[in-house]
A = this chain, B = another copy of it.
Amino acid sequence: MSGRAGDHVISSRPTEEALIARYFAPLAGPGADGLRDDAASLAPSPGHDLVLTADAIVSGIHYFPDDPPESLARKALGVNLSDIAAKGAVPRGFLLTLALPADWTEAWLARFAEGLGQASRASGCPLLGGDTVKSGGPALIGVTAIGEVPAGRIVRRATARVGDRICVSGTIGDAALGLRMRLDPDAGWVRALDAPARAHLADRYLHPQARLGLADAVLRFATASMDVSDGLAGDLAKMLAGAGATAEIDAAAVPLSPAATRAIASRTDLFDVAVTGGDDYEILCTVAPDSCDAFRAAAAAAGVPVSVVGTVGSGSGLPGFRDAEGAARVFAAGAFSHF
């Protein structure tokens, strides 16, 4: 639909149809009819369910207005594919809702579409449709991603069992530290990092990588799964509250990159940022003890590092993070889930 409510100005800019044909139609998948229709058709593979998720990112809130448009396209798709992977699903396609500010340029859109095409091809997740509107404010990039899992096999968030091992992919805290670095580039801990470490943290904030390679191992072995988007501590609390359980986490086992390790060594309170800051887009899952070796082997075969950080316990409190001295700390749940 086009603009309404006093918005009937004939502009010299290309029409929405022309922009779609030029920039987005090349990304269209089967069933999308070249984006010439208002809807796409899609069927799951035989014996499969579709898995649907929606996440939006907003300029000035979820990213910096001057971030490269290619990066924003990767991020918008990536944060959604992260949910798909965490459910044990493989991507099938996505729809895009793009709300543009008054000062959008075709150059920005061209770069955005270029990045979106690269991310789409890299993940085997074609564009199925969407909408382009004026935002009346900052840009908003909304994605609905669709994946598929064998029928009835979606891996849920709240289904962890007492005794299950708690596993995390990759490393935690890099994106949160990367954001802190962007906000305060002259901080002492930032200046203490070398250039490759700074680049690592910046890249992890800007370019979340959905752990699509881990989806099959999650599907085969995880009893519960979610992606870490709002911080390990808070997301773990959500997962365990849903299961009516709690956990003790070995703080030293929380996987940290060399860059995060160095940052935390120079300012130990940055560990709290690492486990509460969010934007990790790693997979947090639980695995029965007797499946743990098989899960780790499957993850290794897929090239995704995983770490066991604790065990699901009975009870209802917030998960405690136990440090080397044996002191357990909790992080207030929900502190970062306001919007």
Footprint of B on A, CB under 8 Å? 1-11, 13, 15-17, 31, 33, 36-44, 48-64, 79, 83-84, 86-87, 89, 95-97, 99-100, 128-138, 140, 142, 144, 146-147, 149, 151, 154, 156-158, 179, 182-183, 226-227, 229-230, 238, 242, 278-279, 334-339
Contacts and interface: CB of A to CB of B under 8 A. Distances in A.
A31 B44 CA distance: 15
A62 B339 contact: no
A157 B35 CA distance: 11
A64 B38 CA distance: 25
A39 B278 contact: no
B56 A129 contact: no
A2 B149 CA distance: 27
A131 B52 contact: no
B278 A1 contact: yes
Nearest to A229: B1
Contacts of A40: 51-53
A185 to B, nearest CB: 13
16 contacts: A1-B230, A5-B61, A5-B179, A16-B337, A39-B83, A39-B87, A41-B149, A41-B154, A52-B95, A52-B144, A53-B95, A54-B144, A57-B133, A62-B133, A133-B140, A136-B137
Nearest to A55: B131
Given A62-B3, A140-B140, A49 B56 contact: no
Instruction: State the copy count for this chain.
Output: 2
A33 B95 CA distance: 22
Nearest to A230: B2
A269 B67 CA distance: 47
A276 to B, nearest CB: 9
A53 B129 contact: yes
A142 B38 contact: no
Contacts of A41: 49-52, 87, 149, 154
Contacts of A52: 39-42, 95, 128-129, 144, 146
A135 B4 contact: no
Contacts of A53: 38-40, 95, 129
A248 to B, nearest CB: 23
Nearest to A19: B339
Given A54-B130, A151-B43, A37 B135 contact: no
A52 B57 CA distance: 21
Nearest to A48: B43
A87 B50 CA distance: 20
